Amino acid sequence: MSPAPPTRSRQRRRPRAHSRWNPLWRWRRFFFVLALLGVIALTTAGYLIWQTPLPAAEPPLLQTTFVCAADVTADCNRDNSIAQLSGGVDRVTVDYEQIPAIFIQALVSAEDREFFDHEGVDPLAIGRALWADVRDDGLRQGGSTITQQYVKNAYLTSDRTLERKLKEAVLAVKLEQELPKQEILERYLNTIYFGRGAYGIEAASLVYFGKHVQDLGLAESAYLAGIIRAPEAADANRALDDPLRDQQIETARVRRGQVLDAMLEEGYITLQARDAVDALGFEYVVPRRPLDNYGEVARPELGTEYVVEYAQRWLVSNGYFTEAEIYGGGLRIYTTLDFGLQEAAISAITSTLNLPDDPAASIVAIDARGDIRAMVGGLDYSTSQVNLAVGSEGGGSGRQPGSSFKPLVLAEALKQGIPLEKTYESPGRMTLAGADSGADWVVGNYADAGQGTLNLIDATRVSSNTAYAQLMLEVGVPNVVALAENMGVEASLPEVPSLVLGTGNVSVLDMASAYSTFANRGEHVGPFMVSKVTDADGRVLWEPDRQPRRVLSEDVADTVNWVLRQVVENGTGKAARISQTAAGKTGTTENYRDAWFVGYTCEMTAAVWMGYPDTERYMEDVHGKKVAGGTFPAAIWKTFMNQATQGLEDCPFERPVTVSEQLETSPPSTAPPSSRAPSSTSTTQTPTGTSPPTSTAPTSSLPPSTTAPTTTTAPTTTQAPTTATTTPPTVPTPPSSQSAGSP
């Protein structure tokens, strides 16, 4: 007998069992309702937007942007501005027939390959753009069509909202229904911003190539089509002293190559034509003149152009405004520059370094609010646009800070609970076995001078390299790098032990910003070169976030402040003494290449750098002296700060209650410093492949070790009782022209 067929009830059990264990199935009704509501919402929004009439097309009204100094509290306008940022090139409208076919082909290849086929929106292009973002393939073609880009420029704002994108898509479709493709392209190319203040293809042709649009060839067309997305970043400039020349040329080369590849793929050009243009340099691009778009610059003798250039680049690079908005949006940019302090900074430099072959110098001053009140990036913008105050941001490479970096290591040590009383042997030279990624690290003091046993106060005051090298290994290099970044150092620092001796390149602004954290008792704020940006009607568009960020505890900051006060009063920074209580640190790199003094009161912080921008020159004979941080930089700082601190509060930077009274230092000795110059071999086998800079340190009055170690397997440290009294090392008077400078 055959088995009975399964009953209907058994046939239905499997789906019910499945539904019982599948969460999606159990919530199916909820998801259905949610999807239905979403469809209704999108349909309603689309309908409302579709009912919006297409606005009359009007070219954007370009307005000059005015930049003002900090003394302008009312409306910033042409009369009180320090610079006027404008396109500098009049818009010239051209007809579609005047635009060569080769440029149209380059444009659609770069921006919208399906332009002549889609109806205003290209879903496939949107998908490709999203996939490129996921794969991080770089920008080759965006998801917005040319029609959408024109709609955004002519009718909408740049807000990154779903509503704006939805309007953009709908209006693009409606525009395509009303206008032929050629007219959309004509409107687009007459309004788009190409950089250098040029709006429209004709203005761009003139400012980049000195020719009319109808004369553009493949090389010019590929270049212009490639820079549309971000003109400033790809502005190939042949001026040798332009700070961003190499970076811009490389970006322009990549962009041009991408356009040529796209044109080849679309069949517009041959491989031979592509390779011929790709092999070209950028000699056919007219160099950008640096002052074309600044209008009448106020007080150029005070380096105003450096401030204006830094302010507008900073706003663009941080994404607050586009270059098109800066040069045509009628903005009012209020800077934090104080012309009185800027003049004082320039005067402090030029009155000290007054001979034709003298080194360059830079000053950055930051107040307690984080505002940059003075910035000397150079003395003549027309001859060099490299801003010496801001490192790589201004086209330079940054400079090594020498021993002025040591206070950041001290702050990390105190943060970790290492007391000031802890002592370290400070021989003239020592080898720290395996400290440099397994290799030996040889560190030497200035002139290989042995300094006996030093606590952290005296090690800072006399700038002992060997003591601080041991401290660096104890606190850990990564911890110091992290703290430096939190304190305002934006330069990329190498995670190597010799960083304690200042072997990482930083900017003058970096050091001023970091030390301002000490002045603010452990809170970091700023630095800001712009206090606010408004539109032409005075509506505030942007203001900085002045909320301070706690980096160090008040106890740690107060302790560092007191220690650095000893440096100014009885240490290597005596030449920087001013009428108010001040704290600071000197820094000198190997062979006198760079010299620094960074110091502060509780209301004002200033960093001074001195050196030759040509890195191969050393300051071994400036006014008959070898330049160390305690010489000319300290003198420049003093001259500036005596004026900058007038009327400001004087804070004593008193000894914290947590620090033993017996650690107060003794009056300095008048013993002369050693006449020996820093040895170029005082340190070897540094992680960067060069000798770390040797800071100048005077001979200590502590008994030097008569047999200073040449090889040490590990740093020797002893813990002194909190009630112990340490005899301070001898600190010399400022060096004469025959003696070496202090670090």
Helix, strand, coil fractions of the chain, as percent rounded to 5: 40, 10, 45
pLDDT for residue 196: 80
CATH number of the domain within which 666 lies: 3.40.710.10
pLDDT tens digits, 20-42:
556 656 666 666 667 776 666 66
**Residue pair 732/673 in contact by the 8 Å Cβ criterion:** yes
**Residue pair 89/197 in contact by the 8 Å Cβ criterion:** yes
The CA-based diameter of the chain, rounded to the nearest angstrom, is 122
Contacts of 110 (CB under 8 A, 6+ apart): 141, 225, 226, 228, 258, 259, 262
Mean pLDDT, to the nearest integer, of 148-168? 70
Mean pLDDT, to the nearest integer, of 411-436? 93
Mean pLDDT, to the nearest integer, of 600-629? 92
Residue 14, domain member (yes or no): no
| Most confident listed range (21-25, 28-32, 136-140, 535-539) | 535-539
Residue 678, domain member (yes or no): yes
pLDDT tens digits, 424-451:
999 999 999 888 888 889 998 877 888 8
Domain co-membership, 460 together with 315: no
Mean pLDDT, to the nearest integer, of 123-144? 52
| Span of 148-152, 590-594, 610-614 with lowest mean pLDDT | 148-152
Domain co-membership, 400 together with 259: no
Domain co-membership, 300 together with 214: no
Q: How many domains does the chain have?
A: 3
Mean pLDDT, to the nearest integer, of 97-106? 94
Shortest CA distance to 560 belongs to which of 526, 519, 601, 598? 519
Residue 149, domain member (yes or no): yes
Mean pLDDT, to the nearest integer, of 105-122? 84
Pairwise pLDDT comparison (425 vs 687), residue with the higher score: 425
Q: Is the pTM of this model over 0.85?
A: no
pLDDT for residue 207: 85
| Span of 18-27, 573-582, 724-733 with lowest mean pLDDT | 724-733
Pairwise pLDDT comparison (676 vs 292), residue with the higher score: 292
Residue 16, domain member (yes or no): no
The model's confidence at residue 163, banded by pLDDT at 50, 70 and 90, is low
Domain co-membership, 79 together with 189: no
Mean pLDDT, to the nearest integer, of 377-403? 86
The model's confidence at residue 594, banded by pLDDT at 50, 70 and 90, is very high
Domain co-membership, 77 together with 185: no
Helix (H) or strand (E) holding 587: strand 583-588
What is the rounded CA–CA span in Å between residue 242 and residue 309?
A: 12
How far from the centroid of its chain's Cα atoms is residue 415's Cα? 27
DSSP assignment, residue 128? H
Mean pLDDT, to the nearest integer, of 393-419? 91
What is the rounded CA–CA span in Å between residue 490 and residue 42?
A: 44
Residue 594, domain member (yes or no): yes
pLDDT at 136 over 50: no
Domain co-membership, 168 together with 211: yes
What is the rounded CA–CA span in Å between residue 377 and residue 326?
A: 22
Residue 235, domain member (yes or no): yes
Domain co-membership, 435 together with 325: no
Q: Is 67 helix (H, G, I), strand (E, B) or coil?
A: strand
DSSP letters for 155-180 = HS-----HHHHHHHHHHHHHHHHHS-
Q: Which domain holds residue 81?
A: 63-86+294-335
Domain co-membership, 208 together with 180: yes
Domain co-membership, 264 together with 312: no
The model's confidence at residue 53, banded by pLDDT at 50, 70 and 90, is low
Domain co-membership, 445 together with 325: no
pLDDT for residue 289: 64
Domain co-membership, 430 together with 498: yes
**Residue pair 475/409 in contact by the 8 Å Cβ criterion:** yes
Residue 10, domain member (yes or no): no
pLDDT at 616 over 60: yes
Residue 133, domain member (yes or no): yes
pLDDT at 684 over 50: no
Domain co-membership, 328 together with 421: no
What is the rounded CA–CA span in Å between residue 387 and residue 377?
A: 4
CATH number of the domain within which 155 lies: 1.10.3810.10
